[in-house]
Chains A and B, each alone.
Chain A
């Protein structure tokens, strides 16, 4: 045995390696577990990567790169694609000569997400080609194939990863995998295929459906499909990480592993199903393969509904095959995560609890304010929702309760999708006013201390334009803007919150104190940037 020429990489690192080897012009995206390491690693390898303020902007930048004939990977977690869905559905109709590879990192089992949406549905809904690797080697290869397919068909390609592919290290051989030759970007005008007014979009939609039909044919002949010949008694149709569990849970089974899961190679599936006595679709999350295969009139079994929730593993696959629906052993609960000792968010939640506020929360480390000992957050939906939801509560509740409502949002989340909430607040102020508490800890802490437009540093921590939160908020028309540090003076902080709630005016209170885990690095980056000035 020998591992010469191989590396041990996780799925994210493998995508980054492929992006680097393919000479990707620009990597862009927005941090989100489990996708964050792709761009960080790509940058570390020497590629050019940027964090966008949010996923929609990242995808739009990526569209521009690909229209110019360049290559780009646009990375995000599954919920990020919701934010980027608007450009996604229309770029699918366009002719883009470069390579636009959209990486969606899904999180079945919600290891660190607010839902477990299955983004294979997006590929179908938007009409986008999708590849699904099952380990790091395939993450490497499929990224390169995605670039090839994108450039061949002039269409965007989605690479769907899941947490276990992103965060599992497996052997990767980069040598011997053909890397598509890159071209120098240049602008070629093609207005009818790039400016999606109705007159252009109507024929473009027809063209997209034709292309997808052709790609489905290509997938039948040359797609990344694998057939493992087995006993013929049991046949399993699968994709992604589920394939790995299947091979171990049922070594005797015949297996059809689909690499391109949209558009599906339905004739291949039909032929496979005909060779086995019992055919079952084993997939994590939604019954995506099952529904598509049944709709095509092919006999296939779905997994019992209880296995739709959470990740699959070897045991669960064994149970699916056995049709075992008995209650699964509950894991012993581990220690839940908590705000770090000395975290600047701590005092804030102690105060909000003491003041009996109705807290419309947001997504970030401060989301841990939901858990004991604080239990200070009432509601959290998605990034940026704290402000809109807080305003809605204020509009609907009677005055005494309305005046207890406060929106709590982080600095990273503010730039991602809080600005429009502030616009709404100025434009449609509730009668009782509103109070927004902006927790400025100087970083995107939750996902691992990434920079954002308010830090004044790029993805690789170099100096760049810096947006001052307080200036933006003032210029948007908020008169009561306070900058405080609750940790330094909790009593004054509590007093300010109470007096702001009592007024029927709009207030934004910025709690400014750096994240304890980031403070040392922030000082180093700043020192380094000063020296380079």
Chain B
């Protein structure tokens, strides 16, 4: 059976939406899945709404997640939840900043990667695969803080 996992990452320009989606696409890639990732980033630098779709499975055709069919919606800032809510399926999981204790992050900017830690609890990728994907998509100077952010959120007691 060709079950496709649909993930939407959303937020505002400059928050690291595209980085987070690159890391998810890469972890699926490393795990051997067919994967497609799409994004609208024309004006993303100017602080407007940005979102990115990731789809993986045995074989993926369209790079866009149909509305109401996202298994996971990862939103980087609370005020963008409503804007993107229509993406989520009725049994989908919302991952949002309130599920992460921001005070425990070395750098608040790592919230995008921290939320991947939260997301990772629902997906069957190994920690090694996640770490590898994080490393492949961030400059070396940022590896330590982000890997820590990932673990902090992943191991937090808060569940969604």
Binding site for B on A (CB under 8 A): 1-3, 6, 8, 33-34, 111-113, 135, 163-164, 167-171, 241, 243-245, 247-248, 313-315, 329, 331-340, 365, 368, 448, 517
Identify which of A112, A168, A335 contacts B49 (C-beta below 8 A): A335
* Interface contact A335-B12, CB-CB below 8 Å: yes
Identify which of A248, A313, A333, A368 contacts B46 (C-beta below 8 A): A368
Q: Interface residues of A: mostly helix, strand, loop or mixed? A: loop
Any A CB within 8 A of the CB of B97: no
Given A313-B64, A334-B48, A168 and B36 contact (CB-CB distance below 8 Å): yes
* Interface contact A168-B32, CB-CB below 8 Å: no
Binding site for A on B (CB under 8 A): 12-13, 22, 25-26, 29-49, 58, 60-64, 66-67, 79-80, 82-86
Q: Which residue of A lies closest to B21 (CB)?
A: A169
What is the CA–CA distance of A135 and B59 in the complex, to the nearest angstrom?
13
Count, A-B residue pairs, CB within 8 A: 115
Nearest chain A CB to B47 CB, angstrom units: 6
Nearest chain A CB to B62 CB, angstrom units: 5
Q: Which residue of B lies closest to A8 (CB)?
A: B29
Identify which of B36, B48, B66 contacts A336 (C-beta below 8 A): B48
Cβ contacts under 8 Å, A245 to chain B: 61-62, 64
Q: Interface residues of B: mostly helix, strand, loop or mixed? A: mixed
Cβ contacts under 8 Å, A1 to chain B: 31-34, 58
Identify which of B34, B63, B85 contacts A244 (C-beta below 8 A): B63
Nearest chain B CB to A45 CB, angstrom units: 17
What is the CA–CA distance of A112 and B61 in the complex, to the nearest angstrom?
25
Nearest chain A CB to B3 CB, angstrom units: 13
* Interface contact A112-B42, CB-CB below 8 Å: yes
What is the CA–CA distance of A163 and B45 in the complex, to the nearest angstrom?
17
* Interface contact B42-A34, CB-CB below 8 Å: yes
* Interface contact B48-A169, CB-CB below 8 Å: no
Cβ contacts under 8 Å, B62 to chain A: 244-245, 247-248, 313-314
* Interface contact A335-B48, CB-CB below 8 Å: yes
Cβ contacts under 8 Å, B31 to chain A: 1
What is the CA–CA distance of A34 and B30 in the complex, to the nearest angstrom?
27
What is the CA–CA distance of A269 and B43 in the complex, to the nearest angstrom?
39
Identify which of A170, A315, A336, A340 contacts B63 (C-beta below 8 A): A170
Cβ contacts under 8 Å, A135 to chain B: 36, 63
Cβ contacts under 8 Å, A113 to chain B: 42
What is the CA–CA distance of A247 and B59 in the complex, to the nearest angstrom?
11
Closest 4 CB pairs of A and B: A112-B42, A334-B49, A337-B48, A337-B46
19 cross-chain CB contacts under 8 A: A1-B31, A1-B34, A3-B32, A3-B33, A8-B35, A33-B42, A164-B63, A167-B38, A169-B22, A170-B60, A171-B35, A243-B61, A247-B61, A247-B62, A315-B67, A334-B49, A339-B46, A340-B46, A517-B45
Nearest chain B CB to A383 CB, angstrom units: 16
* Interface contact B46-A365, CB-CB below 8 Å: yes
Nearest chain A CB to B84 CB, angstrom units: 8
Cβ contacts under 8 Å, B58 to chain A: 1
* Interface contact A164-B38, CB-CB below 8 Å: yes
Nearest chain B CB to A386 CB, angstrom units: 20
Cβ contacts under 8 Å, B35 to chain A: 8, 169-171
Q: Which residue of B lies closest to A517 (CB)?
A: B45
Q: Which residue of B lies closest to A167 (CB)?
A: B39
* Interface contact A313-B29, CB-CB below 8 Å: no
Given A34-B42, A334-B80, A335-B47, A169 and B36 contact (CB-CB distance below 8 Å): yes
Interface centre among B29, B48, B62, B85 (most CB of A within 10 A): B62
* Interface contact B61-A248, CB-CB below 8 Å: yes
Cβ contacts under 8 Å, A329 to chain B: 67, 86
What is the CA–CA distance of A314 and B60 in the complex, to the nearest angstrom?
12
